[in-house]
Amino acid sequence: MALVTDPSLAAKAIPLVVIHTNNYDAYLAHADARTRTWLSATEFRARPHTYALVPAADGGIAQVLVGVGDVGDVYALSHLPLVLPAGEYTVAMPRDSALGDFAAALSWGLGSYQFSRYRKPARAPANLLVTANDALMRAEKVLTATTLIRDLVNTPTEDMGPQHLADVARGLAAEFGATFHEWVGDDLLKHNFPAIHAVGRASHRPPRLIELTWGDEKHPRVALVGKGVCFDTGGLDIKGAEGMRNMKKDMGGGAHALGLARLIMALKLPVRLHMLVSAVENAIAGNAYRPGEVVATRKGLNIEIGNTDAEGRVVLSDALTLACESAPDIVIDFATLTGAARVALGPELPALFTNRDEWAGRLIDASHEQQDPLWRMPLWQNYNEMIKSGIADIVNTGGPQAGSVTAALFLEHFVPKEQAWIHLDLFAWNPKAKPGRPEGGEAQTLRAVLAMLEKQYGK
């Protein structure tokens, strides 16, 4: 992740001088005449996400001025690693010391990411020389989890099917001493996960429910649930070409559950972790589930299938039921659940739904503090009438309005009233590159949820 700690590199590392836009005049007042002339000639203004190479007398690079807007911006340095000349850089005794070690390392790491599975990157990122301390260790763990999520989402379906998600979970279990379990194919029927099986049975790769369990049984229980639809064709209610193009990312919720589980274990958060991912492909074949069908669930509620493209809530129903069976302190699900959430909030803002106001407050506070945005949406109970079925207990489509709300209300039917629950409907994707947010798969709400859990359960 382009962070280096070897102190012997300090002598040759090029200083990065971080300057908040509003303090630029003060900086200029103290700069030597030659530097001032250079900066004015090159029209540097210390605007956020800009930089200026300042030449030394011998023609080398004396230092790099870095414009920064907001204090402590987690993307402050993200524009640099892939544009600065190769080599080592170090944050100089900051004129604007508000950029702490954590934000410096995190912003550098987020901006160094390249998806390199299928081609060699054009260049390696430049290195940031950092001090080995707690802030760095934390930043590295957050970066590893973020990279995991980005890589999983970016990997096309042929290389990221249900079994690959299971392999990732199995690998995490081995690394952190967790227990891995999975129910595959007909096992799902035998152990009463009929809804996951119904959605996933048409794929040549069998559906799975993936489970990780970790931590001291005496610690508070935290359950993470992820939608792992490795490809969403829409099923028999097939998507159009444009809507289907990016559906390799429909396992983004599962990737988030895996990434957050990794972080919780790496940071040894004192919780009893229970992670579940419903891993399926929503495929088309002679045995595909059909519109109008009624699908049984683990909970005992029968779901009428109004549309086979609303498959996420169907596969989540069984996983949520299992998660709630051990009555955890909190259940958190992650899912690329609805197009409607994107219509409402766009790609950057995941939708938060929860049946507990106090948890909403905790997560929103953590979201602000971590610069990891999300927005609360309502579980508007009156709209339950939109998901009433004529022939079964509930239907998986809610009509043209409030689509993310009716999807969340659907999930709520599988969560007991006394169970605290958070549902995050997210995009897991950057449609357009921004500093620290490359186009493609993205971790969203990861830092916010982690911070919330640490605050609630930390040592």
Catalytic annotation, residues? 239, 313
Question: Total binding residues for ligand BES by CB under 6 A?
Answer: 15
Would you say 65 or 305 has its CB closer to ligand BES? Answer: 305
Would you say 203 or 336 has its CB closer to ligand BES? Answer: 336
Burial of 31-56, coded b for 16+ CB within 10 Å and e otherwise, reads: eeeebeebbeeeebebebbebbebee
Least gap, CB of 137 to ligand BES (angstroms): 34
Least gap, CB of 164 to Zn ion (angstroms): 18
> Interface residues for ligand BES in 331-370 (CB under 6 A)?
336, 338-340, 342
d(CA 353, CA 346): 16
Judged on CB neighbours under 10 Å (0-12, 13-18, 19+), 179 is exposed
Would you say 54 or 337 has its CB closer to Zn ion? Answer: 337
The reply to whether 203 sits near ligand BES by the rule CB under 6 A is no
Site string for ligand BES, 295-314 (x = CB under 6 A): ------------x-xxxx--
Near Zn ion by CB under 5 A: residue from 140, 151, 250, 304: 250
Least gap, CB of 135 to ligand BES (angstroms): 34
Question: Total binding residues for Zn ion by CB under 5 A?
Answer: 6
CB 70 within 8 A of CB 97: no
Would you say 87 or 339 has its CB closer to ligand BES? Answer: 339
Is residue 385 helix, strand or coil? helix
CB 233 within 8 A of CB 239: yes
Site string for ligand BES, 237-276 (x = CB under 6 A): -------------x--------------------------
> Interface residues for Zn ion in 306-325 (CB under 5 A)?
309, 311-312
The reply to whether 403 sits near ligand BES by the rule CB under 6 A is yes
Q: What are the E-state strand segments in 336-430?
A: 351-354, 375-376, 394-395, 421-425, 429-430
Would you say 232 or 333 has its CB closer to Zn ion? Answer: 232
Is residue 366 helix, strand or coil? helix
Record the tokens describing residue 104, joined without a space.
Answer: 């410096």
d(CA 75, CA 181): 38
208 sits in which H/E element: strand 208-214
Would you say 92 or 244 has its CB closer to ligand BES? Answer: 244
d(CA 306, CA 292): 6
Would you say 109 or 440 has its CB closer to Zn ion? Answer: 440
Handedness of CA 358, 360, 361, 366 (dihedral sign): positive
Which residue's beta carbon is nearest to the bound ligand BES? 339
Closest to 105 measured CA to CA, from 83, 131, 123, 125: 131
> Interface residues for Zn ion in 217-236 (CB under 5 A)?
229, 232
The option from Zn ion, ligand BES, none interacting with 403 (CB < 5 to 8 A, set by class) reads ligand BES
Would you say 73 or 237 has its CB closer to ligand BES? Answer: 237
The option from ligand BES, Zn ion, none interacting with 339 (CB < 5 to 8 A, set by class) reads ligand BES
Least gap, CB of 49 to ligand BES (angstroms): 27
d(CA 296, CA 75): 46
Site string for ligand BES, 312-331 (x = CB under 6 A): x-------------------
> Interface residues for ligand BES in 223-242 (CB under 6 A)?
232
Site stretch for Zn ion (CB under 5 A), options 42-50, 52-60, 243-251, 324-332: 243-251
Site string for ligand BES, 60-99 (x = CB under 6 A): ----------------------------------------
Strands 221-232 and 208-214: unpaired
Closest to 187 measured CA to CA, from 206, 212, 166: 206
339 sits in which H/E element: helix 339-345
Question: Given the structure tokens 């022939």, which residue do they identify?
Answer: 391
- Number of C-beta neighbours around residue 20 at 10 A: 23
Strands 3-4 and 127-129: parallel
Record the tokens describing residue 13, joined without a space.
Answer: 């590392």
The option from Zn ion, ligand BES, none interacting with 340 (CB < 5 to 8 A, set by class) reads ligand BES
Site string for ligand BES, 423-442 (x = CB under 6 A): ----x---------------
Q: Which residues bind ligand BES (CB under 6 A)?
A: 232, 250, 307, 309-312, 336, 338-340, 342, 397, 403, 427
